[in-house]
Amino acid sequence: MFITCGHIGYTMKRRHFFDNLTSILMFAILGTFISAVVVGGFLYLLGSIGLSLQMPLAECLAFGALISSTDPVTTLAVFQELHLFYIVFGESVLNDAISIVLFNTFVKFIGVTEVHAHAVSYAVLDFIGVCVGSILVGVTFGCLSSIALKHVKGLAVMHEVSLFVLVAYIPFLVAEVLELSGIVAILFAGMFMRHYTFNNLSSAAKDM
């Protein structure tokens, strides 16, 4: 998955993505959250009345977050020539990452018998912190890779390309070590590397 997200971040049309960023974030964050809560709540309700396996609410919400990650391949094919394409595409790019972050957030409540208001506030802040931190990791490594390739000269073409690919996936590892979202980090790293780092490659490396 992280390879796919890195590739998507690298190849996407950034102008269309950022032009529709408000709508994309609303659907990706709010839409995914609503989907997870509705599915999880409905599953919990079915378990409470004996129509399904009864599970704690936190587990139901984690399951809801897990299946809220959708793949709108057919929808994108229909919207190919429409303005809606970029909104749906942008949402689908962030949807997987948001689902993973939501899942990890809900998992932290499994086994907790009492949930207080401060715990919910902490979960919200943790969710925001993970998202923002992951973006910062991706952007930071995207900028660092651009600076590094700008000042490192005389490399063989294969070494240059290998370094480019290697640096592209380091944000994933760093974000995971920091308990952030590697998927979000590598997505934004790919976007910044396409815009900045690519221009610092040699002509031969760009043609590969």
pTM score > 0.75 for this model?
Answer: no
| pLDDT tens-place string over residues 142-170 | 888 888 777 776 666 777 777 777 777 88
Residue 138 main-chain phi, psi, to 5 deg: -65, -45
30 burial via Cβ count (<10 Å: 0-12, 13-18, 19+): exposed
pLDDT tier at 42, thresholds 50, 70, 90: very high
pLDDT of residue 142: 84
Mean of pLDDT values over 177-203: 76
- Give the pLDDT band of residue 188 (cuts 50, 70, 90): confident
Model pLDDT for residues 97-144, shown as the tens digit of each residue: 788 778 888 888 887 777 666 767 777 787 788 888 888 998 898 888
Statement: residue 90 has pLDDT above 70: yes
What φ, ψ does residue 195 adopt, rounded to 5°? -85, -35
In this predicted structure, what is the pLDDT of residue 154?
Answer: 66
